[in-house]
Homo-oligomer: A and B are copies of this chain.
């Protein structure tokens, strides 16, 4: 509840837009939409996106190169994300499953790696598309 206030102008504009969409937005579609607000160049969009990802306000759907707002207030830092993706309609939903999170958080491999982050994407068909 403190970082929210310190967002810059461009960051606010872009976060607003993403939060209004319940589906992931692509960087250049964001750029198109915010041109009327005076944001003219890809880099302005990417800079804001990178910051918003870093502070956990949005997540990147890696397999789709798209960005979605984080609805979970606890999710201050983008370190543990799980999504379901419908391969037909491309609907994306963020998943918060306690048991699954526990398992992923506690996962240890045999390489001695220290994990600070993970991203999991499930693919399939949603109810409408089955």
Contacts and interface: CB of A to CB of B under 8 A. Distances in A.
Interface of A: 62-63, 84, 86-87, 93, 95, 97, 100, 103-104, 107, 109, 111-127, 130
A103 B130 CA distance: 23
Copies in the complex: 2
Contact of A115 (B84, B113, B115): B84
A107 to B, nearest CB: 6
Contact of A93 (B104, B111, B116, B124): B111
A118 B113 contact: no
29 contacts: A62-B62, A62-B63, A63-B119, A84-B111, A84-B115, A86-B113, A93-B109, A97-B109, A100-B103, A103-B103, A104-B120, A111-B127, A112-B126, A113-B122, A113-B124, A113-B125, A113-B127, A114-B124, A114-B130, A115-B122, A115-B123, A115-B124, A116-B124, A116-B125, A118-B121, A118-B122, A118-B123, A119-B120, A120-B120
